Amino acid sequence: MHRLQGHDLACRRGGRMLFEALGFDLRGGDALLLVGANGSGKSSLLRMLAGFVRPIAGTLRWNGEEIAADDPLWRRHLHYVGHADSLKPLLSARHNAAFLAGVTGDGMAADRERALAHLHLRDLADRPARYLSSGQKRRLSLARLVASNRPVWLLDEPGVGLDAAARGRLEAMIESHRAAGGLCVVASHGDVALRRHLVLDMDAALEAEEDALPAGSRSAHTIEGGDAVR
């Protein structure tokens, strides 16, 4: 079973301490929801997990082994969906999907078509991406999650711009990914509903003394020393 651990992580961006002494322990099937105000470091933590931002202190472990910075082997295990959609406006949805699927997976045309169908984009496949609405672009960008199979999903506000139906499909995708033993870290302002998840409150992560958190947001999962929920 997969295991992703963060221990005593600290992050400084632009001279400001975003968070410190932050930890979590996730196993296959877990989902961690990052909550917190704007600027509390949710995106920075996700970028740190993806290896773009170096922690100034602390360690990350994948299946017990420490993850080095810029480790291509670790990156092969993860999907990172940030704010940008990684789409080229001039290319058709299908060409864009081929790139997304090819870069993260083994680029099989069948995978690409399955992903387009899964996100109800088949009818739009030949349309240039610049004619897609922002929600459709988001769906196209999320297609890579279906097109290639990677165990760790890092999703930065994946629900932005999606309608209720698309959001439902995204939630279903996340749940089936978890059911298959994958794990998932989501930063969200509450528009994506997860089942039985862990919560990491980034506002509290900065104020280390203030460790009172409403018990309702805790999950029944193993949390080492209250690390995951500060």
- Per CB under 8 A, residues contacting another protein are 50-54, 70, 72-73, 75-76, 78-80, 82-88, 90-91, 95-96, 98-107, 144
Name the burial class of residue 113, with classes exposed (0-12), middle (13-18) and buried (19+) by CB atoms within 10 angstroms of its CB.
middle
Nearer Cβ to another protein, position 24 or 80?
80
> What is the torsion angle, in degrees rounded to the nearest 10, for the CA atoms of residue 133, residue 134, residue 140 and residue 141?
160
For the chain, give the number of residues: 230
Nearer Cβ to another protein, position 20 or 85?
85
CB 170 within 8 A of CB 162: yes
The minimum distance between CB 104 and another protein, in angstroms, equals 6
The structure tokens listed for 202 are 């980034």
Q: Provide the b/e sequence for 26-59 (b: ≥16 CB within 10 Å).
A: bebbbbbbbbbeeebbbbbbbbbbbbebebeebe
Nearer Cβ to another protein, position 103 or 172?
103
The minimum distance between CB 54 and another protein, in angstroms, equals 7
The minimum distance between CB 49 and another protein, in angstroms, equals 11
Nearer Cβ to another protein, position 29 or 107?
107
Strand partners of residue 26? 4
The minimum distance between CB 126 and another protein, in angstroms, equals 13
Nearer Cβ to another protein, position 57 or 172?
57
The minimum distance between CB 128 and another protein, in angstroms, equals 8
Secondary structure of residue 21 in the 3-state scheme = strand
